[in-house]
Structure 1
Amino acid sequence: MHGARHAPRAHTRLGRSGGTGGRGAAVRVTTRTPRPAGPGRARVAQNGGSVGRAAPAIERAGPVESAERGDGAPTSAPPDRRPVAAGRFRHAAAVVTSDAELLAVALPFLQAGVRAGDLVAMTCPPDVVELVCAELGEAGPGVEADTALSLLGARAPDVLSSARRFVQRAEEAPSGRLRVLSVVDFGDRPAGWREGLRYESASNRLLQDDAVTSVCVYDRRRLVPEVVASAGSTHPELVQGHALVPSPAFRDPLDYIPALPWPRDPVEDTPPALVVGAAASLAGLRHAIGAVLAERVPDRDQREDLHLATSEVAANAFRHGRPPVSARLWTDGSQMVCAITDAGRQFGDPLAGFRPAHGDDLSRGGMGLWLARKLWDSVDLLPGADGLTVRLSTRLR
């Protein structure tokens, strides 16, 4: 999803009526156009080991735990450091290079879930849904397709909300488990790749206590090598042969996410559209940002969303950080980056903003980074010599 208001996502049950030209279940696809995939020219530094090729697999279920803490306040409690392998969330990666290898992973996994009485879902591009459902046979009607269960159809906070709803539905299934097949696609920009790596890693703690078995397929034909290489670091298990095996390269999200590279966006090397060296007040900073957005963001809905999120991030800097609070904003007409910096140095929760700081009780506040992650494509928390910078990046509509 590239905006807070987006095209209808796919959420369909695979059935045997209707035609897709395949031999098995047909699918009714009513989805947004996925982000373009491709190798691109920019590169992201590798952060972890590479993964071997996948083969048919998959029947284990088990662990992981939610470690969400506040919204950036220096006094927030440290993140939960319990071992990631201690919960019920199973998160595995499979690397494929052909349709045959993809099917060798997908079909046994989905069919086993239907037999076991799981709530079974796919979150894949339409072409993959078509490919898989054509081969599912009798298992097809027991499988749903929903792009909102991954970054294909939503930003991270909304993916987590969708996952929560599916987990609640799965409690009524015979097995009480949710089983998800995901085909990874983080788009064609380094900022999107980084956001995807961050979410894949963070989910190991954010979904740690949920009864979910998830296999993420990394297709070398769709992804840059750096993204494929990350699979072992962001997934506790790998598909190998007919089993899930521990990933020797896996890293705890609390260590992995802060170590991700933070390359500058090319637009940051152009003259800024806004420079505020030391904001005299929150109201003044909000007004200055709003004026630039009014001039540079043509879509009204997106303009209002971006202003709301930047205002919340600025409010965090004034309330929880230390002065001076500064801001810079760059845009080239298709891309926008906004960086808000304060002199605080005690922020330490890499999972902040994936969920509201105080859970479902939004009246308690703590929504700043959560709104930013919902309304901008990418949110980076960058500690540095000048303090903490929250860097927001998005494509413009």
Structure 2
Amino acid sequence: MTGFFHETALYGSDDDFLAIAVPFVEGGLRAGQPTLIACAAKNSTLLRGALGEDNAVIYLPGADQYARPADAIASYREIFGGHAKAGATQIRTIGDVPHPGFGVPWDWWGRYENAVNQAFAEFPLWGLCPYDTRITSPEVLADVARTHEYVATASGEHLPNPDFCNGQPLSTPVPDVLEQAAPRVSLINPTPAAVREAVGAAIAGTLLTEDNAHDVVYAASEIVTNGLSHGVAPVRFRLWADDSRVVVTVTDQGSGPVDPLAGLVPTAASRSAGLGLWILHRTCDYVSMGRDEDGFTVRVSVGGH
């Protein structure tokens, strides 16, 4: 195969997971293909027990590999590029993409599942993304269906996915719980300098680390600059905070970037967010982007860990 063969699998039991994953891994090993596993601890343990200690299997710590979507894309591109340069004609990977069932927000991982259809397209890669229906919400499963061109089944089939619609909008991001309170800062069409000053004053009494405080100020300035440069006025900035965590949002009346890679790779396309938004995705704890009845909103969360 050439290009990215992007497949999902839905399972409702450990036995079904193994029925899908073990033949996938063993097929790669028999063919001499680099085969990577980046699953959560439970599924990695299941696979180790079923496969034995085969030294040809490459295990990547799932929590590290999927710390942030932009980091995962950068890491995977380096790994896949190395194997392709070494002559691999196909690479296999199976990984547990995080979602609320694992206790993390979904939006940027949904965008990750969409973006990798382009970000990994140059590699001879068969990527399998299994989802446990016991812990995965219907909203996440709907996005999974939209972003995977193929579906694997426990009976051994690999089928075209009729729900695949690469590049189409995903589910609307969910507001942060801190947004239930009144914002500490609310500004309309502010300059980036005014935002930096207001944010610095608003977080002065929090317990954020110095690095986190710097990330908040940078993030606020960057997303306001992006809204003023590429959005449609009015541009509204808001900030919420508790003792250890800060959430900032910028909402404008535009449609947002059309490039699904925006923020997840360092693109400099004129109509999409460029290097600054990518830096946010690699330094902040969560970044969401999406449109609802209020407009297009970029949301950034820092701290609280």
TM-score, normalised relative to structure 1: 0.67
Taking the TM superposition and a 5 Å limit, the aligned residue runs for 1:80-229 are: 88-137=3-52, 140-147=54-61, 153-173=66-86, 175-188=88-101, 192-229=105-142
Letter in 2 for 1:180: T
Q: CA deviation at 1:229?
A: 4.3
Taking the TM superposition and a 5 Å limit, the aligned residue runs for 1:280-291 are: 281-291=191-201
DSSP-derived class of the 2:258 partner: coil
Alignment partner of 1:298 out of 172, 185, 208: 208
RCO higher in structure (CA 8 A, sep ≥6): 1
CA contact 2:216–2:302 (8 Å) conserved in 1: no
CA contact 1:306–1:375 (8 Å) conserved in 2: no
In structure 2, what is the Cα distance between the partners aligned to 1:295 and 1:188? 33
DSSP-derived class of the 2:129 partner: strand
In structure 2, what is the Cα distance between the partners aligned to 1:250 and 1:357? 25
Note the residue ranges of structure 2 that are not aligned, 5 or more in a row: none
Q: Which residue of 1 aligns with 2:225?
A: 315
In structure 2, what is the Cα distance between the partners aligned to 1:218 and 1:386? 32
Q: Which residue of 1 aligns with 2:266?
A: 356
Would the alpha carbon gap of residues 297 and 200 (structure 1) be closer, same or farther in structure 2, given more than 3 Å must change? Answer: farther
DSSP-derived class of the 2:105 partner: helix
Q: Which residue of 2 aligns with 1:34?
A: none
Q: Which residue of 2 aligns with 1:392?
A: 300
TM-score, normalised relative to structure 2: 0.86
Would the alpha carbon gap of residues 341 and 226 (structure 1) be closer, same or farther in structure 2, given more than 3 Å must change? Answer: closer
In structure 1, what is the Cα distance between the partners aligned to 2:20 and 2:233? 53
How many residues get paired? 301
Q: CA deviation at 1:284?
A: 1.8
Q: CA deviation at 1:391?
A: 2.1
| 2:183 equivalent to 1:272 | yes
Would the alpha carbon gap of residues 343 and 232 (structure 1) be closer, same or farther in structure 2, given more than 3 Å must change? Answer: closer
Identity %: 31
Q: Which residue of 1 aligns with 2:279?
A: 371
Would the alpha carbon gap of residues 174 and 183 (structure 1) be closer, same or farther in structure 2, given more than 3 Å must change? Answer: same
Note the residue ranges of structure 1 that are not aligned, 5 or more in a row: 1-60, 63-87, 360-364
Alignment partner of 2:172 out of 258, 261, 269: 261
In structure 2, what is the Cα distance between the partners aligned to 1:256 and 1:151? 28
| 2:158 equivalent to 1:244 | yes
Greater Cα offset, 158-167 or 184-193: 184-193
Provide, for residues 235-277 of structure 1, a one-character-per-residue CA deviation record: whole Å limited to 9, x for no partner.
1000033231101111122x133xx223433321201111223
In structure 2, what is the Cα distance between the partners aligned to 1:309 and 1:178? 36
In structure 2, what is the Cα distance between the partners aligned to 1:190 and 1:264? 16
CA contact 1:336–1:395 (8 Å) conserved in 2: yes
Q: CA deviation at 1:341?
A: 3.4
Letter in 1 for 2:26: Q
In structure 1, what is the Cα distance between the partners aligned to 2:102 and 2:248? 17
| 2:146 equivalent to 1:233 | yes
Would the alpha carbon gap of residues 298 and 378 (structure 1) be closer, same or farther in structure 2, given more than 3 Å must change? Answer: closer
CA-based RMSD: 2.9
